[in-house]
C-alpha cells in the first residue's frame, strides 16, 4: 500500500481518496494497484454497498498519470516500465467500468488524462465550479487513452473529437451539459452530499438529485454548431481545411491551437475514436488503446512533447513527422496493429 492514497470504509460505503496534492493527485502504479485491490475486496463484501472516490486535499481531483515515469521509460528502458504502467492502469479503468456496485466520483478540481480514466467509468460523476476537465494528450505526443476513445466517441455533436484534438478544458457546467458529469454541486455542498451517501448508500441517485445545484450556463453550448461543422470529418486534413476556410476568430483560434499539437497523435486520436464508436465491449477498446500506447510511447513525439511542455516548458516541440501530410496510413496501421502473442492487454 502507499501513503499516496487513503482507503477506508465508513459503514456500508468504501472510500478511496487520492492523496498526492503536490502532483495534483496524478496516479502512480502503486496508487492504481491499491485502488484495484480495494475495489476487488469490496466487490466480494456484502457489507459494502457503494464506493466514494475523491481527493484528500488541494486542487485535485486527479491531473493524470505518472508522465515523468512514462518519459523516463521511453528514453531509458525501451518503454518496458511505461507499458507495465499502462497495462495495469487500463486494468483499473476496465475494473471500474464493469464494477457491480455504484461508484461516486467527486470531480472537484483538475480532472485530466488519467483522472478522466477513473472518473468516467463511475456511475455517478459530480462536477463543481472547480472542475477543469480535459484530455490534453495530443499536446505532448500522446493520445486520449484510459478509455478516452470509448467515452469521447460517444459524445454527441463531434464534441469528443473536438476535445481529443484540441485538449480544450471544460468547466463543471460544461461537463454536465455534455453528459461527462451526471450531477453538478457547488463545492460547499460536497461534504453534506458525502454524509448523506454514507447514511443512505442505497439512495445515491435520490441524494444527488435532491441536492442538485443550479449550474451556470455552459459556455461551450454557444459553439456547439461550430464544433459539429468544423470537426465533422475523421480526416484530420479536412478538419484543418474547414477551420482555415472559416473567416472567424473562433476558427482561427482553434486552428492555431491544433498547430501546436502532434500531427501524429491527432491522426491517431481521430482513428481511435472512429474505431471505438463501433465497439460494443469496453475490454476491446482497452485492448486497442494498449496497442496504440505501446507504440506511441516509444515514438519520437512523446518524449519530445513532454520535454517541451512539461520538463523544459519551452512549448516548442519538434514533431516527427512534422506535418499531417507526412503521417502516412502505413504509420497509423503499424501503431494500431495487434501486438505479438503474449503481449496483448488483458483484463483482471
Q: What is the mean pLDDT of the chain?
A: 96
CA distance 174 to 184: 10
Q: What is the pLDDT of residues 175-192, one digit of tens each?
A: 999 999 999 999 999 999
Angle at 262 (CA atoms; ends 313, 133), nearest 5 degrees = 70
Maximal C-alpha separation, the chain: 60
Specify the pLDDT at position 80: 96
Reply yes or no on whether the pLDDT at 174 is more than 90.
Answer: yes
Q: What is the pLDDT of residues 234-266, one digit of tens each?
A: 999 999 999 999 989 999 999 999 999 999 999
Q: What is the pTM of this model?
A: 0.97
Rounded alpha-carbon distances, angstroms, from residue 160 to 40, 176, 205, 228, 253: 31, 14, 26, 10, 18
CA distance 18 to 21: 8
Structural domains of the chain, ranges and CATH numbers in brackets: 5-336 (3.90.226.10)
Cβ–Cβ < 8 Å for 226, 251: yes
Q: What is the pLDDT of residues 200-236, one digit of tens each?
A: 999 999 999 998 768 899 999 999 999 999 999 999 9
Least Cα distance to 31 among 42, 41, 45, 17 occurs for: 17
CA distance 273 to 151: 9
Specify the pLDDT at position 1: 63
Nine cell digits for residue 149: 476513445
Angle at 158 (CA atoms; ends 155, 164), nearest 5 degrees = 85
CA distance 20 to 62: 9
Specify the pLDDT at position 68: 87
Reply yes or no on whether the pLDDT at 140 is more than 90.
Answer: yes
* DSSP label at residue 170: B
Instruction: Report, as residue numbers or ranges, the catalytic residues.
Output: 65, 114, 137, 145
Rounded alpha-carbon distances, angstroms, from residue 272 to 167, 190, 333: 15, 35, 11
Least Cα distance to 292 among 176, 129, 145 occurs for: 145
Reply yes or no on whether the pLDDT at 166 is more than 90.
Answer: yes
Amino acid at each position: 500500500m502507499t501513503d499516496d492514497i487513503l482507503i477506508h470504509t465508513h459503514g456500508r460505503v468504501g472510500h478511496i481518496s487520492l492523496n498526492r496534492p503536490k502532483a495534483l493527485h496524478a496516479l502512480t502504479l502503486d496508487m492504481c494497484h491499491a485502488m484495484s485491490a480495494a475495489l476487488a475486496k469490496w466487490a466480494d463484501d456484502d457489507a459494502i454497498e457503494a464506493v466514494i472516490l475523491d481527493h484528500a486535499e488541494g486542487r485535485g481531483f486527479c491531473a493524470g498519470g505518472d508522465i515523468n515515469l512514462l518519459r523516463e521509460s521511453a528514453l531509458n528502458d525501451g518503454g518496458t516500465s511505461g507499458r507495465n504502467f499502462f497495462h495495469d492502469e487500463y486494468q483499473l479503468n476496465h475494473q471500474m467500468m464493469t464494477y457491480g456496485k455504484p461508484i461516486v466520483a467527486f470531480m472537484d478540481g483538475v480532472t485530466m488524462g488519467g483522472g478522466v480514466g477513473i472518473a468516467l467509468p463511475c456511475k455517478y460523476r459530480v462536477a463543481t465550479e472547480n472542475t477543469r476537465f480535459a484530455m490534453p494528450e495530443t499536446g505532448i505526443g500522446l493520445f486520449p487513452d484510459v478509455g478516452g476513445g470509448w467515452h469521447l466517441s460517444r459524445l454527441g455533436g463531434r464534441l469528443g473529437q473536438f476535445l481529443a484534438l484540441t485538449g480544450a478544458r471544460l468547466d463543471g457546467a460544461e461537463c454536465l451539459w455534455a453528459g461527462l458529469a451526471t450531477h453538478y454541486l457547488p463545492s460547499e455542498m460536497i461534504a453534506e452530499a458525502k454524509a448523506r451517501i454514507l447514511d443512505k448508500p442505497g439512495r445515491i441517485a435520490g441524494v444527488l438529485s435532491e441536492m442538485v445545484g443550479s449550474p451556470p450556463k455552459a459556455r461551450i453550448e454557444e459553439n456547439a454548431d461550430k464544433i459539429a461543422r468544423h470537426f465533422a470529418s475523421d480526416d484530420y486534413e479536412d478538419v484543418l481545411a474547414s477551420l482555415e476556410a472559416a473567416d472567424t476568430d473562433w476558427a482561427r483560434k482553434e486552428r492555431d491551437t491544433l498547430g501546436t499539437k502532434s500531427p501524429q497523435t491527432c491522426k491517431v486520436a481521430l482513428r481511435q475514436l472512429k474505431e471505438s464508436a463501433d465497439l460494443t465491449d469496453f475490454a476491446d477498446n482497452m485492448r486497442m488503446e494498449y496497442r496504440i500506447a505501446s507504440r506511441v510511447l516509444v515514438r519520437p513525439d512523446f518524449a519530445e512533447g513532454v520535454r517541451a511542455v512539461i520538463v523544459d516548458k519551452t512549448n516548442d516541440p519538434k514533431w516527427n513527422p512534422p506535418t499531417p501530410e507526412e503521417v502516412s496510413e502505413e504509420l497509423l496501421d503499424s501503431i494500431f496493429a495487434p501486438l505479438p502473442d503474449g503481449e496483448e492487454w488483458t483484463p483482471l
